[in-house]
Amino acid sequence: MNIAARHHPFHGMSAFPLTPADAAGRVDAQTLSLLLERLCEAQVDSIGLLGSTGTYAYLTREERRRAVAAAVECVGGRVPLIVGVGALRTDDAVDLARDAETSGADALLMAPVSYTPLTQNEAFEHYRAVASASALPFCVYNNPGTTHFTFGIELLERLSHLPTIRAVKMPLPAGGDIAGELAALRERTDLAIGYSGDWGMVEAMLAGADAFYSVLGGLLPYPMLAIARTASAGEAQEARRLDDLLQPLWNTFKAYGSLRVMYVLLEALGLGQAQPPRPLLPLDARARSEILAAVDSLLSDR
């Protein structure tokens, strides 16, 4: 266990890799380890295993355990390993949190997966139960794009008082006022505040976010680390210049969904072949050509 990581896993650029699996949902541990080794070599600040990009919601408990075991063996404490434990039922999420801790994870991340829409209080009780099942530091995953649930600031304040909840992963604010949102959250909570939505990394880090949780960073860590570190250092002009190089790729993320784009990039990088879990379908030839054109310069210098 990386003891330092238990206290500081929610800062800097966190890379979220795919979880390669076959059509039956069995995790390809060898390819997963290859992806994780690349992230360790790049010295990302943390790895977000089994996040949305890691298709946690499509994997059984057994396969999620296999993924965590493979990741812990590969990473070996070199980089903090944050493991997603979201599940529809609270008792299942509790089991997943305990599995992750037993396997050697450094921290936990959870979105409020639901079918019947949750109330704010139901979400609080769900988080309280899962967070109390493990001693690991815990990040609240506010991802309304997939869960259709939005955390009110009052709920985040309540959650911040729970002893193991240390961070929140936020979507980019609809109005674009990241600085204003950060100020409001810091006034009401002591959470480490991070964002996702790769095209917003520059503005989030320039505004003073503690972390950025990157989809592209899971396959191409170097350009995302460069953006994160220049922006964190206040080098706005250089950070925006680097981000401008990725605008064609961000357009494909928005058009097709970042997860589908990542499967195209996995093959293009020669790192493996995997299909998105059904009912998601691979992108057609036209979309693939658009993605490859957008990322061509990155593939030649990765």
**Residues with a known catalytic role:** 141, 169
CB 49 within 8 A of CB 68: yes
**Long-range contacts of the stretch 96-101 (C-beta < 8 A, 24+):** 96/61, 96/64, 97/130, 97/131, 97/133, 97/134, 97/136, 98/133, 98/134, 99/61, 99/64, 99/65, 99/68, 100/68, 100/134, 100/136, 101/134, 101/135, 101/136
Exposure of 206 in the CB half-sphere (CA atoms within 13 A): 16
Question: How many other β-carbons are positioned within 10 Å of the β-carbon of residue 233?
Answer: 12
Q: What DSSP character marks residue 163? A: T
53 annotated ligand binder: yes
**Residue stretches of the annotated binding site for pyruvate:** 53
**Residue stretches of the annotated binding site:** 53
